[in-house]
Amino acid sequence: MPEITISMAEGRTDEQKAGMMRDITQALVKNLGVDADAVVIQINEAPLRHKMKGGKTFVERAAAAKK
Amino acid sequence: MPEITISMAEGRTDEQKAGMMRDITQALVKNLGVDADAVVIQINEAPLRHKMKGGKTFVERAAAAKK
Amino acid sequence: MPEITISMAEGRTDEQKAGMMRDITQALVKNLGVDADAVVIQINEAPLRHKMKGGKTFVERAAAAKK
Amino acid sequence: MPEITISMAEGRTDEQKAGMMRDITQALVKNLGVDADAVVIQINEAPLRHKMKGGKTFVERAAAAKK
Amino acid sequence: MPEITISMAEGRTDEQKAGMMRDITQALVKNLGVDADAVVIQINEAPLRHKMKGGKTFVERAAAAKK
Amino acid sequence: MPEITISMAEGRTDEQKAGMMRDITQALVKNLGVDADAVVIQINEAPLRHKMKGGKTFVERAAAAKK
C-alpha cells in the first residue's frame, strides 16, 4: 500500500512521466511483493518558477543552461 | 495544529471538495479537541495523466471504465 | 483514491488518532462517493522538537503553556 | 540534502516566492553547513478553493476579509 | 531532480526497502534521462497504528489477516 | 499560512534543526509579510537506511565518506 509522491519541475513529456510511473510500480511489486493495484503514484509538478536548487529557480537554471 | 494534505486526481466538483474539507476539519476538532482555526487543509490535485494506480494512469483507467 | 497525509506533533492517544482517521475516511466516503477501501491515510508524527509554529518549537510552546 | 516542500495558496508574486526560496536556502546553508547546491525547494501552490483554514476555504476567507 | 517520497507502513526488511529505492532510482534514470545523483528518495515509514485503509488501522488489518 | 515540510536524514543536532526552523520562519515573515504565528514547519526525519541519493542509501554514503 505504499503511496509514492514525485515532486518535479514541469518539462517532461507525458510518455516519460507515464513510463516512469509504470517502472516505479514494477519496482514496488518486485521488491515488496505487493499487487500492482496496491501501488498509487502521484506527480506533484511545479512550474519552473516554483522550484529552486542551489539558490536559483529553475527559470534561472534553464536560462543559464542555454548560454 | 495538524496539517492535512490530500493528494487526489482532478474531477470532483468544488462543492464536493469544500464539503470534504469541512468534514475533515470537524473530524479533527471532535477527535483532537483542537480549535477549527488550528486545522489547515490543502488539496494537491493532479491531472489524470499525473496519477497512476495498478500500473495504469488515471487517463487509461477512465478510458477503460467507459468501455 | 485520495491519499491523506496528516502532519502532527506527538502527544495524542492512539484512540484519538484512530478516531480521527475513521472520521476522515467517512468524510471522503460521504463527500466523494468513494468506497472506504479506496481511502488511505497516514500520520507523519513528529517529535515536539521537530515542529515549530510562530518561531517556537513545540518543546518551547509546551514549556510556555505550563507556566 | 534536505528537500523542502512549501504548501501555500496562490496569490504571492514571483518575486516574493523566489525571495522566500533564496532565504530558505541560506537558512539551510547557515544552520546545517550544507552546500547551497544540496538544497532543493518546491512550492506546491493551491488555488484558493483547494485550501481551508478554520473550516473556511480561502475563497470564503478572502471574501470575508474584503467586507 | 525529482524528489520521491514513499509513505508506507513499517514491516519491510531493510533489503526490501533498499532494493525498492535502487529500482526507483533506475526508473528515473531510464525514463527521464537524469543522472542517478539527481535522484533523492525518502521513505516516511509509519507505525501500523498511524496508517489506515478502508476504515481500519493497519494494526486491525494485521489482526484480521491472522485469523 | 504556508506549511513547510523538511525531509531530511537523521544526524543533525537539535540546535541545528531549531535554528534552521527559526530562520525559515523569518524567511517567510520577511518575504511574504505573514505573521510568524502563521508559519508552521515540520521536519520529517528519516533514518539513514530510509534515504537514498545517487542509488546509495545514506548508510552506504556515510560508510563511503569514512574511507
Q: Is B2 a catalytic residue?
A: yes
Cβ of residue A5 closer than 8 Å to a chain B Cβ: yes
**Alpha carbon distance F32, A14 (integer Å):** 34
User: What mean pLDDT is predicted for residues D9-26?
Assistant: 98
Nearest to A40, CA basis, from E53, C50, D54, D31:
E53
Residue A24 pLDDT grade (very low, low, confident, very high; cuts 50, 70, 90): very high
User: Residues D33, E33: contact at Cβ < 8 Å?
Assistant: no
At a CB cut-off of 8 Å and minimum separation 6, what does C40 contact?
A: A1, A3, A40, C3, C4, E51, E52, E53
**Alpha carbon distance E50, E31 (integer Å):** 33
CB atoms inside a 10 Å sphere around CB A15: 9
Give B9-64 pLDDT, tens digit per residue: 999 999 999 999 999 999 999 999 999 999 999 999 999 999 999 999 999 999 99
The overall average pLDDT reported for chain F is 96
C interface mutation test: which of F21, F24, F30, F37 has the most C CBs within 10 A? F21
Domain locations along chain E: 3-66
**Alpha carbon distance C21, C30 (integer Å):** 14
The overall average pLDDT reported for chain A is 96
CATH 3.30.429.10 at D3-66, yes or no = yes
Question: In C1-67, which ranges are continuous DSSP H helix?
Answer: 14-32, 58-66
Q: Given this model, what pLDDT does residue A67 score?
A: 78
**Do C23 and B27 count as a contact with CB atoms less than 8 A apart?**
yes
**Do F23 and D30 count as a contact with CB atoms less than 8 A apart?**
yes
Interface of E with D in 25-44 (CB under 8 A): 40, 42
Which three-class secondary structure state does DSSP give residue F12?
coil
Residue D67 pLDDT grade (very low, low, confident, very high; cuts 50, 70, 90): confident
Give C35-57 pLDDT, tens digit per residue: 999 999 999 999 999 999 999 99
Nearest CA-CA distance, residue E22 and chain A, Å: 9
**Alpha carbon distance D9, D46 (integer Å):** 5
For the question of an ipTM over 0.90, the answer is yes
Nearest CA-CA distance, residue B63 and chain D, Å: 26
